[in-house]
């Protein structure tokens, strides 16, 4: 038995879904532990491309139980659409389960997210506008609706009597948005109850209990360490905990259940939305990385910002992510590069101070510039290589340097989007 968490080690889109898919093969239970449909996860297998937002990619394997945990926020219509798309592609969803404790993203959450983003003149976050922040806000404020409420009309009615007056006041007075009647929300909830009905796992305690012994559990994170609400580039973050620790609160299992935490890093860095990004390349090299790496958002289609690998955030990610090994993806994107840079420290342009560890106050990041070391490229197509020994020498040197920086082993090297384009190291 081995229980593993997959954590994004950068600002998301590191290729977590590809790694989750690989590990799901040998797992019995796959649990998505946080986030919502802000995530966009792509798996390429058997010449087909599958896109996920909420559903664990483990669903592609027959017989695996896929559980969407209590730490997630679920938009009912997006969930329904995703399930239907999978069914249309011939994927069996009978083993898909949702925690009754997961939070529901309501229409007003999306309206508030959109309003906040569209009207911000300063401090725009660049969210996915999927209502994620407002849903988690209501959860923390004890004003949220959980999936279990949908099946208990009396409790729902009592809850709405408490929530709605304040919610409507806020919608109208703060945001200038339309209020909701209790009848309207009740009708929506009846619809949502039907959407979730085949999947709600009321005996989730039994599921977790029975999986405790002898089963391999895989915990699937969304986003990445640098978007973590506690440890990321706050406030330019998402509203949940993608770090390894989030797997516990989001799944219902305690830390004693976790054996390994695999971080996923790209060979460079990308970010979508606003916020500091010290190694960002706003030049031809950045465009080259974006074009070769197809760096456009799965969820919003936005071009991803691109930059050189940042060892400062990598070391930080290893620490706060609780990582035990790293999967390095998209290294093939550098196949045509003469030189590859790695940022090993930050320099404060005001006083020359060098930062080797991550400075958490992001408001001073505008004064930071990257300190680079340069590595020679390998100028070879590595996408067909399947053994570590067969990688070009310069590529192995680059990987060895990253491993030295991480101070944890690189366990997986990914050389292309396909399931097969993978090198298991050690």
Residues that bind ligand IMO (CB under 6 A): 8, 11-13, 38-41, 125-128, 130, 132-133, 222-224, 227, 238-239, 272-273
* 209 classed as catalytic: no
Q: CA 415 to CA 47: how far, in whole Å?
A: 16
Dihedrals φ, ψ of 104, to 5°?
-100, 130
Rounded to 5°, angle at Cα 369 from 365 and 371: 135
Instruction: Name the minimum Å distance from CB 266 to ligand GDP.
Output: 8
Both tokens of residue 171? Answer: 């919608």
**What is 174-205 written as a DSSP string?**
IT-PPP--HHHHHHHHHHHHHHHTTTB-TTHH
Q: From the list Mg ion, ligand GDP, ligand IMO, none, which binds 149 (C-beta under 5 to 8 Å, kind-based)?
A: none
Query: Applying CB under 6 A, which part among 39-47, 112-120, 338-346, 360-368 lies near ligand GDP?
Result: 39-47
Binding-site string for Mg ion from residue 289 to residue 328, where x marks contact by CB under 5 A and - marks none? ---------x------------------------------
Q: What share of the chain is helix, strand, coil (3-state, %, to 5)?
A: 35, 20, 40
User: Quick check: 330 binds ligand GDP (CB under 6 A)?
Assistant: yes
Asked if 246 touches ligand GDP (CB under 6 A), the answer is no
42 binds ligand GDP (CB under 6 A): yes
Asked if 41 interacts with ligand GDP (CB under 6 A), we say: yes
Question: How many residues make contact with Mg ion (CB under 5 A)?
Answer: 3
For the chain, the residue count is 426
Residue 300 binds ligand GDP, judged by CB under 6 A: no
Count of alpha carbons within 13 Å of 264, Cβ hemisphere only?
A: 29
When asked if residue 17 is in the footprint of ligand GDP (CB under 6 A), the reply is yes
CB of 27 to ligand GDP, least distance (A): 16
- Among 15, 35, 36, 40, which residue sits at the site for Mg ion (rule: CB under 5 A)? 40
CB atoms within 10 A of CB 124: 15
216 contacts 2 by C-beta, under 8 angstroms: yes
41 noted as active-site residue: yes
- Short-list 221, 255, 256, CA closest to 240: 221
Report the nearest approach of Mg ion to the CB of residue 128 (Å): 10
Q: What is the DSSP string of 350-371?
A: TT--EESS----GGGGGGEEEE
Catalytic residue among 21, 41, 109, 332: 41
Closer Cβ to ligand IMO, 39 or 145, answer by number: 39
Residue ranges in 198-322 assigned as alpha helix (H):
204-211, 246-251, 284-292, 311-321
Supply the minimum distance, in Å, between the C-beta of residue 84 and ligand GDP. Answer: 20
- Closer CB to ligand IMO, residue 39 or residue 423? 39
Catalytic sites, residue numbers: 13, 41
Judged by the rule CB under 6 A, the positions of this chain that interact with ligand GDP are 8, 12-18, 40-42, 44, 298, 329-330, 332-333, 414-417
């Amino acid at each position: 038995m081995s229980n593993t968490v997959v954590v994004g080690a950068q600002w998301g889109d590191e290729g977590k879904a590809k790694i989750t898919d690989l590990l799901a093969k040998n797992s019995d239970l796959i649990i998505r532990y946080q986030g919502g449909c802000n995530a966009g996860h792509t798996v390429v297998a058997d010449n087909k491309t599958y896109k996920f937002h909420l559903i664990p990619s483990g669903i592609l394997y027959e017989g695996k139980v896929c559980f969407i945990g209590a730490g997630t926020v679920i938009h009912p219509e997006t969930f329904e659409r995703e399930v239907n798309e999978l069914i249309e592609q011939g994927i069996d969803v009978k083993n898909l389960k949702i925690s009754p404790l997961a939070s529901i993203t309501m229409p007003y959450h999306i309206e508030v997210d959109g309003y906040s983003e569209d009207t911000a003149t300063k401090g725009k976050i660049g969210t996915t506008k999927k209502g994620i922040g407002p849903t988690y806000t209501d959860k923390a404020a004890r004003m949220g609706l959980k999936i279990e409420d949908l099946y208990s009309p009396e409790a729902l009615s009592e809850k709405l009597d408490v929530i709605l007056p304040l919610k409507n006041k806020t919608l109208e007075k703060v945001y200038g948005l339309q209020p909701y009647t209790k009848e309207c929300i009740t009708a929506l909830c009846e619809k949502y109850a039907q959407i979730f009905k085949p999947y709600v796992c009321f005996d989730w305690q039994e599921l977790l209990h029975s999986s405790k012994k002898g089963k391999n559990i895989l915990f699937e994170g969304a986003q990445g360490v640098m978007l973590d609400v506690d440890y990321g580039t706050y406030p330019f973050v998402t509203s949940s905990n993608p770090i390894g620790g989030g797997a516990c609160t989001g799944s219902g299992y305690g830390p004693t259940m976790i054996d390994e935490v695999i971080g996923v890093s790209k060979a460079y860095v990308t970010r979508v939305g606003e916020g500091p990004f010290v190694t960002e390349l706003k030049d031809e090299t950045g465009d080259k990385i974006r074009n070769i790496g197809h760096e456009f958002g799965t969820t919003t289609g936005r071009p991803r910002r691109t930059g050189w690998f940042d060892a400062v955030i990598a070391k930080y990610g290893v620490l706060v992510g609780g990582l035990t090994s790293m999967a390095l993806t998209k290294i093939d994107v550098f196949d045509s590069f003469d030189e590859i840079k790695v940022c090993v420290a930050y320099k404060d342009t005001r006083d020359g101070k060098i930062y080797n560890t991550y400075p958490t106050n992001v408001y001073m990041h505008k004064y930071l510039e990257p300190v680079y070391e340069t590595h020679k490229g390998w100028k070879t197509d590595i996408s067909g290589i399947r053994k570590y020994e067969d990688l070009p020498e310069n590529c192995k040197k680059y990987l060895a340097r990253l491993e030295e920086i991480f101070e944890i082993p690189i366990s997986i090297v990914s050389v292309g989007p396909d399931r097969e384009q993978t090198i298991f190291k050690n």
